[in-house]
Structure 1
Amino acid sequence: MRFRNKPWAAEYIAEHSYYCILGPENRKGKWHEVFGNEHPIHIEVGTGKGTFITEMAKANPHINYIGIELFESVVVKALERAVVANVPNVKLLNVNAEKLTEYFDKNEVDRVYLNFSDPWPKKRHAKRRLTYKTFLDLYKSVLVPKGEIHFKTDNRGLFEFSLMSFSEYGLLLNYVSLDLHNSDYEGNIMTEYEEKFSSKGFPIYRCEVQYKE
């Protein structure tokens, strides 16, 4: 996927370092100090334009949210949204999720959200999927014991792959929906992609899984 370059993005990020944390490797093990409280920390890997994480933060002021986004031209849109919303329990990181352990300590994160991740449909690219076993290892290394992953996608192939990956890893399946918007699930907050795909009639798949220890 190609993103339009935003020459002003770096400067905007630097000007709003309260929300988009610079040098996050220096905050490892200190995120509760960054937020100034001991509330649970939930991270979204691939936060996109920030609708989900910002709305979650507004709905749950007792939870701290950290959005992780690789692309500067995308994270700056999430940053604009966070600035307008003026929610103190949101922070953003413009980093690669593959280096998660450089930014978070063991047992520092309570929940991981994976929303509409790149499906990497070709079989040879399976290792790049955010629900592949190496990523599950990565999440486990920063999550509290019995930490959770909440996963949403419109891609049935990725959903089936992910359920299999979770099962093979030994994760507990606490919730699954093959059509979220026509289910009895309450409190769903949509992402930008979710609004787009659901408006076209595509079913949204969702599951919640938990590490056994």
Structure 2
Amino acid sequence: MRMRNKPWAKEKMNEYPQYVIQNPEEQKGKWKTYFPQEGPLFIEIGTGKGRFITEMAKAHPDTNFIGVELSDNVLVSALDRLIEAELPNVKLLNANAKNLGLYFEPGEINRVYLNFSDPWPKTRHEKRRLTFKEFLAVYESVLVPEGEIHFKTDNQGLFEYSLVSFSHYGMKLNYVSLDLHNSDFEGNIMTEYEEKFSNKGNRIYRCEVQFPKR
């Protein structure tokens, strides 16, 4: 589905520097002092319209969150949600995940969330999948030692591919659910896509994986 172009998106994001990080490279190595309170820093890559990151921030006020979204046309929807919520512990970043190393020092991030990422099903597009080994190397470079990725999708093919990718990278599987909404997992916060796909009867897959000790 083609994303509707919003030519005013960047201008609006620039109007709310308290919510949208303007010059992230200037904060590299200083993220602990960026938020009003100290706390672990969790990021969601592909934050979409912001439901997950906003609700997580509400549920965990002692944790700081950054929603990373490449599309400014999408990020402005997350911005609208954040303006309404007025949460001090969540910010938004209009950036490509492959560039995280430009904005964060090693060990500055405590956890990465990947929710309903584009599956890029064609083999020739494998390198675009957010669980491809080159992306895993980027996440590892900015996470704390033995940091975690929490991953959700309704796409069985992407989930199976990701489990293999995690395993080949040497990561430890701490939790795997092949049907999250019919499991005993507590505290799940749904994304917009999750609710949509679940209502259609799609199973939701989830895993928590940990990088190896180096």
Instruction: State the TM-score, normalized to the length of structure 2.
Output: 0.98
Mapped pair 1:57 → 2:57: yes
Per the alignment, residue 159 of structure 1 pairs with 159
**SS where residue 209 of structure 1 aligns?**
strand
Q: CA deviation at 1:2?
A: 2.4
2:70 and 2:189 map into 1 onto residues whose CA distance is 22
Letter in 1 for 2:93: L
Deviation per residue, 1:43-78 (Å, 9 max, x gap): 000000000000000000010000000011100100
2:59 and 2:119 map into 1 onto residues whose CA distance is 29
Letter in 1 for 2:123: K
2:165 and 2:103 map into 1 onto residues whose CA distance is 25
Q: CA deviation at 1:14?
A: 1.2
CA RMSD after TM alignment: 0.8
Letter in 2 for 1:121: P
Instruction: Work out the percentage of aligned pairs sharing the same amino acid.
Output: 67
**SS where residue 55 of structure 1 aligns?**
helix
Per the alignment, residue 78 of structure 2 pairs with 78
Q: CA deviation at 1:137?
A: 0.4
Structure 2: state its 5+ residue gaps. Answer: none
Per the alignment, residue 117 of structure 2 pairs with 117
Letter in 1 for 2:45: V
2:138 and 2:21 map into 1 onto residues whose CA distance is 21
Per the alignment, residue 99 of structure 1 pairs with 99
Mapped pair 1:212 → 2:200: no
Q: CA deviation at 1:31?
A: 1.2
1:122 and 1:100 map into 2 onto residues whose CA distance is 25
Per the alignment, residue 12 of structure 1 pairs with 12
1:32 and 1:208 map into 2 onto residues whose CA distance is 25
Instruction: Compare 99-108 and 31-40 and name the one that shifted more.
Output: 31-40
4+ long deviations beyond 6 Å: none
Per the alignment, residue 150 of structure 1 pairs with 150
Q: CA deviation at 1:42?
A: 0.2
Q: CA deviation at 1:32?
A: 1.4
Q: 2:69·2:75 contact (CA, 8 Å) conserved in 1?
A: yes
1:98 and 1:155 map into 2 onto residues whose CA distance is 22
Q: 2:151·2:206 contact (CA, 8 Å) conserved in 1?
A: yes
Q: CA deviation at 1:212?
A: 2.0
Q: 2:36·2:89 contact (CA, 8 Å) conserved in 1?
A: no
Letter in 1 for 2:101: T
Instruction: State the TM-score, normalized to the length of structure 1.
Output: 0.98
**SS where residue 19 of structure 1 aligns?**
coil
2:46 and 2:169 map into 1 onto residues whose CA distance is 22
1:58 and 1:71 map into 2 onto residues whose CA distance is 24
Say how many residue pairs are matched: 213
Q: CA deviation at 1:9?
A: 1.5
1:98 and 1:142 map into 2 onto residues whose CA distance is 11
Letter in 2 for 1:170: G
Per the alignment, residue 140 of structure 2 pairs with 140
Deviation per residue, 1:156-197 (Å, 9 max, x gap): 000000000001111010000000000000000000000000
1:37 and 1:189 map into 2 onto residues whose CA distance is 23
Q: 2:36·2:88 contact (CA, 8 Å) conserved in 1?
A: no
Q: CA deviation at 1:113?
A: 0.2
2:108 and 2:19 map into 1 onto residues whose CA distance is 19
